[in-house]
Structure 1
Amino acid sequence: MNLVTYIKDLLYRYDCVIVPDFGGFVTKRVSAKINENTHQFFPPSKQLSFNRNLNNNDGLLANYIASVENISFEKASNAIALSVIKWQNEIQTKPIDLEGIGVLKLNENRQIIFEPTVQVNFLTDAFGLNSFEALTIERHQKEVKKFIPQTTVKNKKGIPPFIKYAASAAILVALGVSLYSNYEATVQKEVFAKQQKALEKKIQTATFVISNPLPTIDLTVAKELPKPYHVVAGAFQIPENAERKVAQLKAEGHDASIIGVNKWGLTQVVFASFSDKNDATNYLYKIQKSTSKDAWLLIKN
């Protein structure tokens, strides 16, 4: 089984793919950009990184392999574990080339260093978009000659007096209409403001009386007991993975929920929460036998 193929498939769909007991591949959306020096345009993409601390099994990779290979979840998990053992042994002597994803190797402090590939863009929205280099456009400024209009010779007789008087009268009429319109608008605004103020005063002093009031009903609300005992299913660095885990557990019949973020910044997911410690302990034993041996009890006030 080629584990790299399934990881690549999931990186196109999800922002984080965790390989249990090894680490997680995390993607971050990067906007389109331009290199001003080389005039090269790059489309939007997903920036890929590797986090060694993301090694808790969230079930995403195993479920996908089980559905594609048509095998059980346990067989898929065992196949992943074998690949992880192979990678851990191989990386001690040479870099691991994950084709289409990147290269993993150890540095001087025996820490895993990841160099992502630049040939693959995991952002499906940018499918078919490639980087390209724009051609430089040289602009030549042309000399613009100013146009000087020639003055025309006016009629020596000039404009008849009656035309001058008619134009002056038209200007005065237009000015009078404009002033009257402004005055009328001002008066309307003042009248409306007075009416609005009077209406607000009536509303403030109004008294409402209900002739047949409904009888009073006494309600007793039971106070919900606090639930400080939690059966923990896992902690996730990516909030979306935590929400996906809650949905999976609820589909399996658990009263799952997210109880917050711990001091390491991880979102905690629980199978269920209880107000009684004995109930929580019994449920924990049941979960460890049937669902997850890694489940544990958290007491959170």
Structure 2
Amino acid sequence: MQLETYISDLLYRYECITIPEFGSFLTQRVSATIDETSNAFFPPKKILSFNEQIQKNDGLLAHYIADVEQISFEAANQKIAKRVDVLKANLTQGETLNFKNIGTLIFNSEGKIMFEPSYQVNYLTDAFGLSQFVSPSVARETYKEQVEAVEKVIPLTITAEKRKNRPYFKYAAIAVIALTLGGFIASNFYVNQIEQHNQIAQEEAYKQLDNKIQQATFSLNPLPAANLKVTKQSGIYHIVAGAFRVEENCDAKITELKALGFNARKIGVNRFGLHEVVYASYEDRLEALKALRTIKKEHNKEAWLDVRSLD
């Protein structure tokens, strides 16, 4: 039994996944961060940890396995217990346990379990589609520093007495205001001329198009009525294939998935402004989980289940 696959599925939705009589994987949300040395921006994420003190069976993992494999709750607990016996035996022999997309576990010199998380998967669904990027450093202007350096060598001071003896300052200020007003008026006049020209050109284009339509002759042959049966997708369980900032890429992904036989569609824009595409939507949770398992195994291991009602 691939226990790590079930744990990985549950980490997207829960903060604590307990393996009875073994320990618990915990998640904690952290905000987006910036590495000032490399100018790298990292999206918000969930960081993983392991606590071997939390071993009480809360039933979450067993219920999930029972739903996916269509077995009883007791049978799922028995499978988990057998897997735990193997994991403990491997740790005792000094082996390193590798949980795919989660991390590694190993005994330290004191016989305690040490956990090293994997950073290949971000289990925070709110950050789906976001990745780290590096921004070029911003060069700050230093004109103020240069001016201060010049002032230290050549002091620039104008006292009140000097202002009185230099009336041309007043005329210079009046000239600046006049030039500003003149430029503003000229700019508005120029913009108005452009808008008037564009309106005349648009009206002329519409007139020519209307004349061509009136001169055209159409010969239409009646076609037999066609009855189309349209099936509207519904359900609150959506298997997400990806999220795209450019809607054209979103449409291309839908075309690709439909060619593979999926009922792909868009389910709207998420809080980050990304267009989300789903393989399909389901009303039954068990059916959705089965489909998700198949898709992750055969098509896209990064697919995930979004549970929400669409308006």
Question: What is the TM-score when the length of structure 1 is the normalising length?
Answer: 0.47
Greater helix percent: which structure? 2
TM superposition score normalised by structure 2: 0.46
Q: Which has the higher Rg, Structure 1 or Structure 2?
A: 1
